[in-house]
Structure 1
Amino acid sequence: MKKTARREAMGGLAKGLEVIRAFTYDSPSLTLSEIASRAGLPAATARRCLLTLAELGYVMQSGRNFLLRPKVLELGAAYLDSMNIEVLTKTYLEDLARQTGDSAALTVLDGTHIVYVARTSVRTLMRLEAHVGSRLPAYPTSMGRVLLAGLSPERLQEYFEQAEISALTERTVTDRAKLRALIDECRRVGYSAVEDELAYGVVAVAVPVFDKTRRVVAALNSSSHSKKMTRAKLATERLQLLRSVSAQISRELHRVPGLSLSAQT
């Protein structure tokens, strides 16, 4: 029985998983030789695994180094959903939702989209409801603009070269110069607020979440319905609370390395 199971095992899959596991909190960026050594694989095999993972969107290359991309989180989406990232969500996001009476979410940037890694809500605002693993375009969202503001100039330029930007509502900002100005403003003031740009009825304010080197690795938001709350009022009433919760989550992220690998260089 054991020999049969062994014959049916997929060696290539096992090697690919070993390559992913080579990355750690202390070593989020590795060279090919370092990955091969940590995974116990020949360099040529490790390279084939990395090229496959890169093609599938799980790994990216920056110079001689490789980094995991947030899409890796999708591999554990079921686990994350069942656990609901317990420490972060129950301790912080649920408290934030209760205090505001609305929803709260945590996202990371993956290419031209944001990916939800935690979310909680005390009410259903509308038909468009995100969940762990949901992907939304970055440009019309408060969290997306916060994450874009954390990019280097080179990465931001790459984003605008790759992003497909179109109007989702009559209020969606699609002019790239205006979007750059909004991202610059977000970087300057430390938050972003949007209203009716992703969908009618959605108003949200977001702040950055940092790793221990003050790199933006995630975005935290509080959202409501635009018929109940304007963008300006939302920012005025919730910005201080969001920043306080962000500081607490930033400290928690030091112990959750998987969420700090947004590859924003």
Structure 2
Amino acid sequence: MKKSSDVAAGNSARREAMGGLAKGLEVIRAFSHDSPSLTLSEIAGRAGLPAATARRCLLTLSEQGYVMQSGRNFLLRPKVLELGAAYLDSMNIEMLTRTYLEDLASQTGDSAALTVLDGAHIVYVARASVRTLMRLEAHVGSRLPAYPTSLGRVLLAGLSPERLDRYFEQAEITALTERTVTDKARLRALIEECRRVGYSSVEDELAYGVVAVAVPVFDKTRRVVAALNSSSHSKKTTRARLAKERVPLLQTISSQISRELQRVPGLSLSAQT
């Protein structure tokens, strides 16, 4: 049972929260790669806001340079990138990309990425590749569902039992290919296996042709704060072969990044609890 002081603190925090800011952020999140241009009614529906409230948010965002209007439609402006850039800058992500991910990509001849968990999705915070293998190739800031990816399963394996339960209660788990694992019991078993062996590998689950293996990145208290992967194309290798050849290399580089992250407190905010 919660203490009365805890309840009071929670109520106080809610009173201090800025509702307008939260609504403005929901308006920004209404836009996506598939829907870069939206009408007022579409934005209101996606953000779960009354049209009048969504309109006020759009006017404010427009005045601040984050949104522009073209006819009846609204679009995000490049200034929105500054919001994500502030987070990445605080992590000194350029250094991580240059010194470790590019080295990993060079050694393997494939792609390398560093991600964190955000709700039911993984978010790419660094990436390097010697070449583009497929159209699905992600970039910094890309969001993908966690459950069909090696990176996501590593991050889910770092969650506490309570948070993992909440994830399965809230996540929309659907088949993206014929090989996507959607059975929750099987997914839990795969996540538990990842926790036990220290890595996760997938093939053709996110998209056909994508084969990848990932390992966790830890903070100084051994909490999982990020995931590091190496991905290739199934025409070049198999899931088992990729894991056998690259897990030791990934674990070595993960240890190096983990040591670096002790000097980057910003990333600890994504630690799993």
Q: TM-score band, normalised by the shorter chain?
A: 0.7 to 0.9
How many Å apart are 1:215 and its aligned residue? 0.2
Q: How many residues align?
A: 211
2:179 is equivalent to residue 171 of structure 1: yes
User: In 2 relative to 1, CA 192–50 (structure 1 residues): closer, same or farther, beyond 3 Å?
Assistant: farther
2:140 is equivalent to residue 132 of structure 1: yes
Question: Contact conserved, 1:77 with 1:133, CA < 8 A, in 2?
Answer: no
Other-structure match for 2:76: none
Hey, what's the Cα distance between the residues in 2 that align with 1:180 and 1:52?
36
Question: Which residue identity is paired with 1:151?
Answer: L
Question: Which residue identity is paired with 1:206?
Answer: A
Other-structure match for 2:16: 47
User: In 2 relative to 1, CA 261–51 (structure 1 residues): closer, same or farther, beyond 3 Å?
Assistant: farther
Hey, what's the Cα distance between the residues in 2 that align with 1:54 and 1:108?
24
* Identity value in percent: 81
Q: Which moved more, 1:119-128 or 1:83-92?
A: 83-92
Deviations 1:170-213 (A, max 9, x none): 10000000000000000000000000000001000000000000
Other-structure match for 1:96: 104
Question: Contact conserved, 1:77 with 1:132, CA < 8 A, in 2?
Answer: no
Which gives a bigger RCO, structure 1 or 2 (Cα 8 Å, sep 6+)?
A: 1
User: Where do 1:1-265 residues align within 5 Å?
Assistant: 47-49=16-18, 52-53=21-22, 56=25, 75-77=83-85, 80=88, 85-265=93-273
User: In 2 relative to 1, CA 51–233 (structure 1 residues): closer, same or farther, beyond 3 Å?
Assistant: farther
User: In 2 relative to 1, CA 152–79 (structure 1 residues): closer, same or farther, beyond 3 Å?
Assistant: closer
Question: Contact conserved, 1:150 with 1:187, CA < 8 A, in 2?
Answer: yes
TM-score, length of structure 2 as denominator length: 0.71
How many Å apart are 1:76 and its aligned residue? 2.8
Hey, what's the Cα distance between the residues in 2 that align with 1:227 and 1:98?
19
Hey, what's the Cα distance between the residues in 1 that align with 2:23 and 2:265?
20
Deviations 1:117-148 (A, max 9, x none): 00010010101011111000000000000000
The root-mean-square deviation of aligned C-alpha atoms, in Å, is: 2.8
Unaligned 5+ segments in structure 2 are 1-5, 27-80
Question: Which residue identity is paired with 1:125?
Answer: L
Question: Which residue identity is paired with 1:47?
Answer: E
Question: Contact conserved, 2:125 with 2:141, CA < 8 A, in 1?
Answer: yes
How many Å apart are 1:257 and its aligned residue? 1.8
Other-structure match for 1:61: none
Question: Contact conserved, 1:218 with 1:260, CA < 8 A, in 2?
Answer: no
User: In 2 relative to 1, CA 186–196 (structure 1 residues): closer, same or farther, beyond 3 Å?
Assistant: same
TM-score, length of structure 1 as denominator length: 0.73
Hey, what's the Cα distance between the residues in 1 that align with 2:186 and 2:13?
46
User: In 2 relative to 1, CA 125–33 (structure 1 residues): closer, same or farther, beyond 3 Å?
Assistant: farther
Question: Contact conserved, 1:186 with 1:192, CA < 8 A, in 2?
Answer: yes
Question: Which residue identity is paired with 2:16?
Answer: R
Hey, what's the Cα distance between the residues in 2 that align with 1:260 and 1:52?
24
| Secondary structure, aligned partner of 1:205 | strand
Question: Contact conserved, 1:80 with 1:132, CA < 8 A, in 2?
Answer: no
Unaligned 5+ segments in structure 1 are 1-30, 35-42, 58-72
Question: Which residue identity is paired with 2:210?
Answer: V
Hey, what's the Cα distance between the residues in 2 that align with 1:152 and 1:55?
31
How many Å apart are 1:52 and its aligned residue? 5.0
